[in-house]
Structure formats: C-alpha cells, structure tokens
Chain A
C-alpha cells in the first residue's frame, strides 16, 4: 500500500522505512514485502523493539523523522488510504463471529485522507508545515512507560525467544504476562493470538482475542483519534 506513496514523494527527498513487527520473521513478513514490490528499506523486528523504543502499541503506526534525524511527529495511526475492510458488508452466509467482526471493524477510527494530506504537506513544506510539531509537543505526545509496561517488554522478549526456540508452552506463559501487564499493547497481544489462531479468535491459551478485546474498549477506541 505504501509503495505508491513512496513513488510519488521520493523525488522530493522522502523515503519510507517499513518495519514488520513479526516474531515469525522473514517467513511471515517476506511474502508481503515481495508482493508489494517494495523499493524502500523493509526491515524486520522479531522482538517488537519498536514498542519499547518508540512507544508503539498498535499497527500501522507512522513516525515522521526529518533530514537531521529529529522526530516531528511521534507514533500515530498511519493508513495511506481508506482500507477496504471498512466497507465490507455483512454477507448472508457469514457465520455469527465473522458478522460480529465485520460490524466491529466498521467502527474503527481511520482517517487516511487527513493523514495523507498532512504527510504530503510536510514533504512539500518541511519544517514550515503546520503538521510539523514543536519539540515539546513531540515529547508530550509520546507515550509514558510504566513499570508494568517495562516488565511487559521483558516478558515479551523472553516469549518471542522461547517461541522461536520451539518452547511454545513456556512462550505462552510469558506472552500472557506481557498481555496482563500492558493490556493496551495490541502488537504483543495480536502477535501471540496469531500464533494460536491466524484469525486471532478465542483459544484456550489466552484470556482475550481480537474481537472480545476490541469490544471491551469499544472499536472507536482501538485507534486513537488523529490529532493532526
């Protein structure tokens, strides 16, 4: 989805770096990168280190970094265009759980037009763009990290290591700890759920699943409203 944006804006000194938060590694993310014919750097982050370092808790999240390596906007929901799943209708033959999911997804707050307008404005006007935030505002908007969040990061790191080593049962215990300690971290949850069930539905291994957890907070709160 982002390659077209890269093609459009690269002539103006712009580059995209994608980072796949995928414990499944190249086997999981590689086919997507290939299909996209991506010409931009496409990186893999099996341990979800971006969560700890940049304060990312959901995907897709974008961070703006200027020519000097300064952050102009901290992580925020970044879609290049309105995703098709927002407009998928419930079908008569959809089983109940699919119907529920389709309906929940419709309430996700995704404002791709505003995001892309701001991104193009920044690429054109640089520091003079009204969307380039002040240093104080960048820091203020970045997430805090509680003691529990920090401990969740440690558990997730153990979990992904154990999972890749094949110690699935032990990994689950640490995934669960990470979920308990930082319940609003969707990358930790969805990663683990996806290993148990590719649709991230209910399993015996985890207390939550995508639909139940989204319904708990309200789908409109899954992505924070963009504050451009």
Chain B
C-alpha cells in the first residue's frame, strides 16, 4: 500500500537535518521538498501492518511533532470481502 504523509518537524534546522537523514535510511520512505516545517513523504509498504509500523516509527522519531496521513492507496483491496470475512468470523464465534 502507498500512503501520502506529511510530518511536522520541530523548529530547529539541526533536528530537521537529522530527521531527514533517518528517513533517507528507510527504503520504504521517499520525501519531497521541505515546506517550512512540513515534510511531504510517500510510504510504499508491502502490507498494512508494515505501513502502520513505519508510521509509528515516524511518530516516535525525536523531532517529529506530528504525522498527518493524507492519503492511503491500496491495490487489490475489496472492502466487501473484508466485511464478509469478519461477518463470517463473527458468526463462527457465536
């Protein structure tokens, strides 16, 4: 799944440099040009759990104040299948 993210970085050039350096080391993340204290990112993960894990990693990076998830793109995803699966799980549980 591919996600558009915007992170807000603390107002300190040294911290921003360090955050961008750490992001560069993560192969699943690609960043765009910083706009003020905001940094646009694309996250290309193989699974939802990997994406969630990466987003949590970003949230916990020292100097990252906030992560906005602006857009999530999922290939071959069918919400109805997902709901059916869960309904069938619930039925089994009863």
Q: Do A and B come from one complex?
A: no
A residues within 8 Å of B by Cβ?
Answer: none
B residues within 8 Å of A by Cβ?
Answer: none
